[in-house]
Amino acid sequence: MGYKDSSLPAAERAASLLALMTAEEKVGQLVQPFGWKTYRKQSDGSVRLDESFKQQVRSSGVGSLYGVLRADPWTEVTLENGLSPEEGARAINEIQRFAVEESRLGIPILFGEECSHGHMAIGGTVFPVPLLVGSAWNVDLYREMCRAIAAETRCQGGSATYSPVLDVVRDPRWGRTEECFGEDPYMIGELAAAAVQGLQGERLDSERSVIATLKHFAAYGSSEGGRNAGPVHMGLRELHEIDLHPFRKGVEAGAMSIMPAYNEIDGVPCTVNDYLLQRVLREEWGFEGFVITDCGAINMLASGHDVAENGEEAAAAALKAGIDMEMSGDMFGKHLLSALKRGTVSEAKLDEAVLRVLKLKFKLGLFERPYVDPEQAAKIIGSKEHVELARQVAREGIVLLKNEGGTLPLRKETGQIAVIGPNANHIYNQLGDYTSPQPRHQVVTLLDGIRNKFGADGEERVLYAPGCRIRGDSREGFETALACAGQADVVVLALGGSSARDFGEGTIDLRTGASVVTEHSWSDMECGEGIDRTGLHLLGVQLELAQEIHRLGKPVIVVYINGRPIVEPWIDENAHAILEAWYPGQEGGNALADILFGEVNPSGRLTVSIPKNVGQLPVYYNGKRSRGKRYLEMDAKPRYPFGFGLSYTSYAYDGLRVSPDRISPDGEATVTVNVTNTGTVAGSEVVQLYVSDKVSSLTRPEKELKDFRKIALEPGETRTVEFRVGKEQLQMLNRQLTPVVEPGEFLIMVGRNAEDGISASLFVENEV
């Protein structure tokens, strides 16, 4: 019984426990049923465990449960039938107690939860989506956000999360763009490390730490046509230099879990890609955690990818390739025992997977502390500090795209403001996918935020009309919206998209703006998982509404709330100001109002290039020099480049210096640049460093981001920003896929975005 001795190392305890287990119990540790199906809430807030779940625990044990506390339309868990933070903690304790006391060996369950931008449970703080997090360019702030998410998850009993998403966006028509940080592997890698540090903390057995799962491994953001889980056509060099880079950084930071992607790469589904899961991940990178599939991924091998004849063949292939646990599928539980008896998989391979799972359970401290304190859950989840943090992240990630003639910031003395549009006052439209049901008071919409600035006069000073929906061709709200705009001195027009699933909140009366519960709810969803598009234009009659309001001759400020870039040339040319807010979370309305009224100077910068026309795609900034010149109708340049974002002040760059300007392949140079706030208000600038290899033995990207700093500057203040440039910033993969630094000239560019900066040369020589 050495596995009960907490003084022994986790690996030794896991081996001791494995030696006592039957084949059935081993397989049981590799399955992860849907957690919300294991219980029913009772009238007093307690839970009653499902009999089939009890039987499974008693017969073979259950290694993990997925989404015990997940609440959304898919799980059919609502505010009414779901669990409060305290009830959720009690429920997980009840489930865990049964597993520990009723299974033969008393192995605790690992509870896995969704936490892309907050724990997806009732009461959890809803932070901005990762696309906005990327736009904040603030690694330390994101690490702090992850610490808050980990605390909210672990205090309820969750011990693993299926985030961060490290996919590199190559086609923003893809519905999961909102879940990603952007199009640049270096930036994603920095945020990957921060996520691991924030989620896992210094020790996994801390009461505020959870296992981070890096996903989706790999190249999921490069699917054919931007269609979810579509095939990926990519060579090994691009795979390693672009898509695998963020995962390597996450593994180096200590990530303990990896989730393979649904897609195939050059004909091999990632779920059975032993090159990725064994050679790269474990042999080359030294990954010591466990690999868990995405939901239903093993089923896809036999029905979708069609590389397996049946479920048993699919399960065996996945285990042999390096899968350790199956998320919410039924292939391992149904077929691994028979595959073991037939010799399709070896017991040694099964033991490898089980050992990895058990080792992490010991590292998490689940055997010593399997239960949580419900009172602590009630205090930590949705705390005032976390809500303020959500507001700060939103403030830093909202991007000012246009500000003609100093339209912004608005003045409190402005007479009346009309807030119009389908995203002006719809709580779920500003939260993104992977969001739990929300009480109305917990979410601050754009309308709420602007009215809050005027206190008791808010309703009188700030008029509202929805005008139209995100989708659909109804113009019945136009008349009210135009009348509302006609009374106002300035119009704030909230347009964009929606990743809102059907939360049963009904629809909006376009003439009054009131919520109306109808027999058939209206879906405005045009983004999110599985919602891919052929275009990037505004749907429905939103553009027409904007054009009608513009004819009134009032200043029009467009606020985009959405999950992927929007391409609308008319708005780019005619709106007086444009803010890109992505999905800014539950405090999004307050953050937007802070920026609109100048209490916060916008410092967000784009992490995805926004094209002039969808026909330009792909339009990411770090493409090859050889990708072609232009189209017949237009050039290949984006409307708004990577790294772009305006401010209420201005910044000047000068004094760029590279010292020394000649180094060996193993050497390092220091890059310094002076950045001055030349305006009249304080602000934060994102100083970006790019490297371009002038001549190389293999084709290279035109330029690549290699470092950045977000700095705060008072009016007239100058700061000298310093970067280090060495092997990691200059290397490439040669024909043998070995990292090398080739001799020659490198252009070092520092500036405010990928197309606006100053440059100097750095020479690499074999003999310096």
Letter string b/e over residues 218-249, b meaning 16 or more CB atoms within 10 A of that residue's CB: bbbbbbeebbbbbbbebeeebbbbbbbbbbbb
Q: Both tokens of residue 370?
A: 């399997």
DSSP assignment, residue 241? I
Active-site pick, 167, 171, 294, 324: 294
- Phi, psi values for residue 140, rounded to 5°: -65, -40
DSSP assignment, residue 627? G
Does residue 140 have an active-site annotation?
Answer: no
Q: Both tokens of residue 189?
A: 């890698």
Q: Both tokens of residue 759?
A: 């440059």
3-state SS assignment for residue 442:
helix
Q: Is 486 left (phi over 0), alpha (psi -120 to 50) or beta?
A: alpha
Q: Return the axis-axis angle of helices 139-154 and 185-200, rounded to nearest 10°.
A: 40
The per-residue DSSP string of 243-303 comes to ISHHHHHHHHTT--EEEE-SSEETTEEGGG-HIIIIIIIIIIT---SEEBPPTTHHHHHHT
Q: How far apart are CA 129 and CA 632, in angstroms?
A: 37
Contact present, 469 and 522 (Cβ < 8 Å): yes
Contact present, 374 and 157 (Cβ < 8 Å): no
Q: Which amino acid is at 51?
A: E
User: Using omega within 30 degrees of 0 as the cis cutoff, is the peptide bond preceding 216 cis?
Assistant: yes
**CB within 8 A of 177, min separation 6: which ones?**
131, 169, 221, 527, 563, 564, 565, 608
Q: Identify the H or E element spanning 26.
A: helix 23-28
- Chain-centroid distance, C-alpha 380: 23
Q: How far apart are CA 522 and CA 501, in angstroms?
A: 10
Comparing CA positions, the residue from 143, 151, 162 lying closest to residue 211 is 162
Q: How far apart are CA 459 and CA 448, in angstroms?
A: 10
Write the CA distances from 594 to 383, 396, 407, 431, 587, integer angstroms: 21, 11, 15, 18, 11
Q: Is 121 left (phi over 0), alpha (psi -120 to 50) or beta?
A: beta
Active-site residue set: 294
